[in-house]
Structure 1
Amino acid sequence: MPMAAVNLVTGPNGSGKSNLYRALRLLAEAAQGGIVGALSREGGLGSTLWAGPEKLSKGMRAGTEPVQGTVRVNAVALRLGFASDAFGYAVDLGYPIPSLSMFDFDPVIKSEVIFKGPFLRGANALVERKGGAVRSREGRSWRAIAQGIAPFESIFTQVADPERAPEVMLLRETIRAWRFYDHFRSDFDAPARLPQLATRTPVLSHDGRDLAAAWQTIREIGNVPSLEAAVDDAFPGASVSIAPEGGRLTLWFHQPGLLRPLSAAELSDGTLRYLLWIAALHTPRPPPLMVLNEPETSLHPDLLPALGRLILAASERSQVWVVSHASRLIATLEAAEACHSVRLEKAMSQTAIAGQGMLDEPPWHWLEER
């Protein structure tokens, strides 16, 4: 699928939005060296595979034949990849060759490749891994840079070297900088409601536990006018202050008509969650990619247009991916020229992008097709 500055993924429940989100998370785990472990936590390789028949006949699609499986012909594989203006990456995972090991159902990395350009082809591959052997391009030839890489380890953790494989190290750090926000805690016991250690926090944690520290960091080294404008946009006339208390920081919310500010512990779930989004999207260290999974959760519909404007402002510094069901948030984002809307649909339990045919897809070739 193509991507733009803002990518809005919508569709009915069960259409595949979570699969796209998890695919990005798995790619990010590859750079952390944890893709095999992450797959195991998902339920193993088998749980990620297409659960329908390997081939759907015309009769099955037309509903004149029952949907039934046949003998599997193709190899079991999970293939993930992406391309960018700088480097692209593709990985192929499968089952190991049967042995006496108790880990025969643990997925292994069959092959990996880092390439230059919008899609993978023989001429632009820079680093290749097949089995346990890794080689890198050197002019018009190849140079072996590693042998015997364990099948559960990625090139990102084994051969990232500024001299032997600078592309691996550069791409690893780029992917590691991707940021995912899936669920901010705003319940009564949420860490964001408590005083936090006074330590500089340029990146808000995934659960928002360091909100006060992140907010103060933005005030000291970030865009303060934009931060304050974002609060006023959602809560007209309101403001936020941070107070030190013996090496810890407390967030206070000031509202017109109230004689005293409210601490984070007193805020409603929606107000606290929105302040968390403001802090996350005003990070002084913007990532190359920020993925927001259903950011509308616990927010009043009246806040969603302001949230959309907040996301669009953040897309000027980072590529943003938003998965959403909320009509008002969707309408705000789709009104922007920078927004690329992706609506997923499902037919015969297969996920497809609405309105995208074969000729509309960006060019892409998997490892074994080269």
Structure 2
Amino acid sequence: MITTLAVENYRSLRHLVVALGRLTVVTGANGTGKSSLYRALRLLADSARNGAVAALAREGGLSSTLWAGPEMGAREQRPQGTVRRNPVCLRLGFADDDFGYAVDFGLPQPSRSVFGRDPEIKREVIWSGPFLRPAGLLADRANGALRLRDGRSWLAVPGVLAGYDSMLSEYSDPQRAPEILEVRERIRSWRFYDHLRTDADAPVRQSQVGTRTPVLGPDGADLAAALQTIREIGDAEALDAAVDAAFPGSSLAVEVEAGRILLRFRQPGLLRPFGAAELSDGTVKYLMWVAALLTPRPPALLVLNEPEASLHPDLLRPLAELIVTGSARTQVLVISHSRALVNALEGDLSRIELIKELGETRVDGQGRLDEPPWHWPGR
């Protein structure tokens, strides 16, 4: 379970270190930085797939994603700006129960290449324990050079990593560096949902050739297959309970017609079931959350971005109960601006309230001494 998430100089997140629990909800008014936190976490996940540089390019490049205010923050100095004292950097990191990971993106060296503005990975480290300590360092990549902990000494890895390549994706040695493989696979198991389509032309509303689907796709197109997989190899009772809690007396079934699978939603008082094309956006969206949270193959981390979108207020409490049920099987992070959903969440809940002061995102009520211990690697 991730215990600490740290971001520095990403959009409005000039300096943010937060503790995460088994179930964490991030809330705040519009424009306080919830989406930036979500995108920073996705960018961190992209590092394990060697896609962070491309992800930054899609956001307009490193210069477009960097904190735009004064280097030390608007509260510490005048907002007119001063001479920069530290190198330009965008830092992302996390620590879980066993390992920690941090990556530092910076400006490239001057080059005639047409890709000369691609950001470079200046430092990348893995350590053991809740925060970075020299004694706990296990893998250390400084610019292109990678070294590995070998007892009380260090083993230099031959070759040089390109500035745009992460050691997580480019180095694989289960004997010399099992921790790199472990951290990479943990990050790659993280699952994000924020583009579940429910419009009239959405693929979820069409019949499909179905295969066993233990993981709902990122757009929710394979909903019928995912629900049927839960019924066959997952928690069928929890599936039925989640449907009944939101739509009392209703039931779900998946049928096969001409080799394609069709969702059938039966409601009390009606003579025939409804297909996916006939259901409301809110009903389809809720069923998608059922498939995502009751997955038979839970990830290390499940991140839901504004799950209340398109839902009727009456569905927020059943959704909250579903989220709590899902958090018993995996760590869940919910980013929401719905007070009703947040208030309906019960149990062991960690709550992060974001506010913005002079353009900088902060955690309401959290000072520097209240943050989890965290240290960034130097360059």
TM range (shorter): over 0.9
RMSD: 1.4
For 1:86 and 1:159, locate their aligned partners in 2 and report how far apart those are by CA, in whole Å: 20
For 1:89 and 1:252, locate their aligned partners in 2 and report how far apart those are by CA, in whole Å: 45
Counterpart check, 1:350 vs 2:345:
no
Residue aligned with 1:367, SS: coil
CA contact (8 A) 2:74 2:358 kept: no
Aligned structure 1 segments of 4 or more residues deviating by more than 6 angstroms: 57-60
The residue type equivalent to 1:347 in the other structure is: E
For 2:309 and 2:172, locate their aligned partners in 1 and report how far apart those are by CA, in whole Å: 39
CA deviation string 1:130-186 (max 9, x = no partner): 111111111111111242111100001111221221111111111000000012100
For 2:227 and 2:76, locate their aligned partners in 1 and report how far apart those are by CA, in whole Å: 58
The partner residue of 2:291 within 266, 276, 279 is 279
Q: Under a length normalisation based on structure 1, what TM-score does the superposition of the two structures give?
A: 0.95
CA deviation string 1:229-249 (max 9, x = no partner): 000000000000000122211
CA contact (8 A) 2:75 2:358 kept: no
Unpaired runs of at least 5, structure 1: none
Counterpart check, 1:265 vs 2:277:
yes
Residue aligned with 2:218, SS: coil
Residue aligned with 2:138, SS: strand
Counterpart check, 1:337 vs 2:347:
yes
Counterpart check, 1:309 vs 2:346:
no
Unpaired runs of at least 5, structure 2: 1-17
Structure 1 vs Structure 2: percent identity of aligned residues? 58
For 1:125 and 1:58, locate their aligned partners in 2 and report how far apart those are by CA, in whole Å: 34
Match in the other structure for 1:93: 105
The partner residue of 1:120 within 118, 126, 132 is 132
Match in the other structure for 1:153: 165
CA contact (8 A) 2:105 2:120 kept: yes
The partner residue of 1:73 within 85, 88, 92 is 85
- Distance apart, 1:50 and its partner CA: 1.1
Q: Under a length normalisation based on structure 2, what TM-score does the superposition of the two structures give?
A: 0.93
The residue type equivalent to 1:292 in the other structure is: L
Counterpart check, 1:6 vs 2:16:
no
Counterpart check, 1:144 vs 2:161:
no
CA contact (8 A) 2:90 2:104 kept: yes
Residue aligned with 1:36, SS: helix
Match in the other structure for 1:104: 116
Counterpart check, 1:228 vs 2:245:
no
Residue aligned with 2:231, SS: helix
Counterpart check, 1:162 vs 2:174:
yes
- Distance apart, 1:58 and its partner CA: 6.4
CA contact (8 A) 1:87 1:171 kept: yes
Match in the other structure for 2:144: 132
- Distance apart, 1:294 and its partner CA: 0.2
Match in the other structure for 1:364: 374
For 1:284 and 1:146, locate their aligned partners in 2 and report how far apart those are by CA, in whole Å: 41
For 2:64 and 2:377, locate their aligned partners in 1 and report how far apart those are by CA, in whole Å: 22
Show the 5 A alignment for 1:291-310.
291-310=303-322
Give the count of matched residue pairs.
Answer: 362
- Distance apart, 1:53 and its partner CA: 2.1
CA contact (8 A) 1:95 1:104 kept: no
Match in the other structure for 1:16: 33
CA deviation string 1:26-60 (max 9, x = no partner): 11000111111111111110111111122457696
- Distance apart, 1:74 and its partner CA: 1.8
> In structure 2, do the counterparts of structure 1 residues 79 and 174 end up closer, same or farther at CA, with 3 Å as the change threshold?
same
For 1:27 and 1:59, locate their aligned partners in 2 and report how far apart those are by CA, in whole Å: 28
CA contact (8 A) 1:109 1:131 kept: yes
